[in-house]
Amino acid sequence: MQTHQTMMEAIMAEVHATAYATGRGNLSPGVIKAMQQAPRHEFVPENMRKLAYANEPLPIGHGQTISQPYIVAIMTELLSLKDTDTVLEIGTGCGYQAAVLACLAAQVYTLEVVEELAAEASARLARLGFDNIDVRVADGHEGLPAHAPFDAIIVTAAPEAVPMALTGQLKPGGRMVIPVGTYRYAQSLLLLEKDSAGDIHERDVLPVAFVPMVSSLQRS
C-alpha cells in the first residue's frame, strides 16, 4: 500500500528524472513540507482512498481529476512562492493544489466553474483548517480582477492558449504556470514570467496531460 512517504519518494525520483527539462533537480524545503502537510487522502473519493498516495492522477467526479502528486509538486516549485505572496489558482477541483499552495503563501484565491466541486472543496478546506483559501465559482478565463494583481498564478486545466486576462493580472516579477494545448496528450506546461517592464517571458517546461479548461458558457 502506498503511503505519504512512498509518495514523496516517487515524487523526488521523478523530479530528479525530469531536471533536464524543468531546471529543478530538487524540491525546495518549503515545497517538500507543503506536500507532506497536505493530506491527499482527504481530497479523493472514499472509494479511492487506498490509492490516495500513489503518484498518479485520480478521478474526482464531474469529469475532473486530482492531479498526479509529482505534477502538483513541480508546478508549485516553479512558482517560487514566498510566504507573503497572494496566489490565484484556476481550477479548484477537489482543493488539493490549493491546500499545498496555502502551506506556502499568505493568501490563495481559487476559481472553479463547476458549482458542486467548488462547494465541496470550500467545505473540505474549511474543515481541514485552511483559513487562507478563498474559493469562488467563476470562469477562470477571466481571472479575478477584483483582487489582482497576483504574485503568482497557477492553472490546473488546459486552455487552447494562455488567456490574456491572466497575464494582465500578474504582477511585475510574478510567475504563472499553465498547461496549454488543444488535445489532452499534446499539451505543454508553460512557465511565464513578467519582468519589471511588464513584458512576458515564456518557457516550455514539460509535456503534460490535463483536462480541458472549460468556460462558464460551455457549462451552461
C-alpha cell at 65: 481529476
> At a CB cut-off of 8 Å and minimum separation 6, what does 93 contact?
60, 64, 65, 66, 67, 112, 117, 121, 156
Q: Which of 67, 80, 215, 216 is catalytic?
A: 67
Domain residue spans in the chain?
Answer: 4-219
Distance set, CA 110 to CA 21, 130, 138, 144 (Å): 28, 13, 9, 9
Q: How far apart are CA 74 and CA 17, in angstroms?
A: 12
Whether the predicted pLDDT of 219 surpasses 80:
no
pLDDT digits (tens, 9 = 90+) for 96-118: 999 999 999 999 999 999 999 99
4-219 homologous superfamily = Vaccinia Virus protein VP39 (3.40.50.150)
166-189: average pLDDT: 91
Q: How confident is the model at residue 220 (pLDDT cuts 50, 70, 90)?
A: very low
Q: How far apart are CA 66 and CA 68, in angstroms?
A: 7
Q: Return phi, psi of residue 71, to 5°.
A: -65, -40
67 in active site: yes
